[in-house]
């Protein structure tokens, strides 16, 4: 959908599907799935890279000229840890884009709203392009937009669960209504129909990792998510019919010849 670009921090993308790089069975499958997804933004967990003594890593397998690499602070439990990791990534030459994750709870992996806000405030002030991972909290989303975050990335369900919109659609709908920056649904989506629903709500993009990487056929699932995102976006742009409390005949009743 080249005539309907996604713009983040002044940079234009033609895919509204972002993908992660974790949990794949092997590097070849990961690269084939990324190709099939059509994604242009790829997330990489900085904790999977030895930042103090760099050696061959996942970053060596990805074509930096083709994709926007989005380092993330997965594994950071406090704002201070997230800030430090982001700074180290910048020092390594990974650029200014960072997906901020502050997740202290190892069981449910829900983001810490206060720690996330604190980390984002510091990193925005230091010139980072900040994409924060958050709960589906409309008030927090507005506050993060106000301090200069490039997107907001609310979860649909706890990360890796594949539950879809277990917390309901209404908080996401409110975030879409209230925020001017792109809204990217991140975490919990399980199947392409979940992605289509997110796009039909008016979300600007989705980020998928586990649902693709752990599928029986990751490459086919990546393609399926690409199609789901495209279908959902087209449906949103086309404008759905209103929901009615009663039936409405498909054929008009006016002018019908009656016996």
Positions marked active-site: 99
In terms of Cα–Cα distance, which of 35, 4, 21 is closest to 222? Answer: 35
**Residue 213, C-beta contacts closer than 8 angstroms, at least 6 positions apart:** 20, 22, 23, 24, 30, 33
Cα–Cα distance measured from residue 241 to residue 229, given in angstroms and rounded to the nearest whole number: 20
Cα–Cα distance measured from residue 56 to residue 179, given in angstroms and rounded to the nearest whole number: 39
Dihedral pair phi/psi, residue 10, rounded to 5°: 80, 0
Cα–Cα distance measured from residue 205 to residue 196, given in angstroms and rounded to the nearest whole number: 10
In terms of Cα–Cα distance, which of 43, 42, 91 is closest to 66? Answer: 42
Cα–Cα distance measured from residue 155 to residue 203, given in angstroms and rounded to the nearest whole number: 12
Which two tokens mark 185? Answer: 């649904």
Dihedral pair phi/psi, residue 174, rounded to 5°: -65, -40
């Amino acid at each position: 959908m080249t005539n309907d670009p996604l713009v983040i921090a002044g940079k234009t993308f033609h895919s509204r599907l972002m993908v992660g790089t974790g949990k794949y069975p092997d590097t070849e499958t990961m690269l084939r799935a990324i190709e099939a997804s059509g994604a242009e933004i790829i997330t990489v967990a900085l904790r999977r890279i030895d930042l103090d003594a760099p050696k061959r890593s996942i970053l060596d397998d990805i074509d930096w000229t083709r994709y926007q690499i989005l380092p993330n602070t997965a594994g950071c439990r406090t704002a201070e840890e997230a800030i430090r990791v982001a700074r180290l990534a910048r020092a390594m030459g990974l650029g200014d884009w960072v997906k901020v994750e502050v997740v202290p709870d190892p069981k449910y992996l829900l983001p810490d709203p206060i720690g996330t806000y604190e980390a984002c405030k510091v990193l925005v002030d230091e010139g980072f392009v900040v994409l924060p991972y958050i709960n589906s909290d409309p008030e927090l989303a507005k506050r993060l937009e106000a301090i200069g975050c490039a997107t907001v990335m609310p979860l649909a369900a706890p990360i890796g669960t594949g539950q879809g919109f277990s917390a309901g659609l209404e908080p996401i709908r409110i975030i879409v209504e209230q925020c001017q920056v792109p809204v990217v649904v991140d975490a919990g989506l399980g199947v392409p129909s979940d992605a289509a629903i997110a796009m039909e709500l008016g979300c600007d993009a989705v980020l998928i990792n586990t649902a693709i990487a752990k599928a029986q056929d990751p490459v086919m699932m990546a393609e399926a998510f690409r199609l789901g995102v495209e279908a959902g976006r087209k449906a949103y742009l086309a404008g759905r019919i209103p929901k009615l409390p009663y039936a409405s005949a498909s054929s008009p009743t006016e002018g019908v010849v009656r016996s």
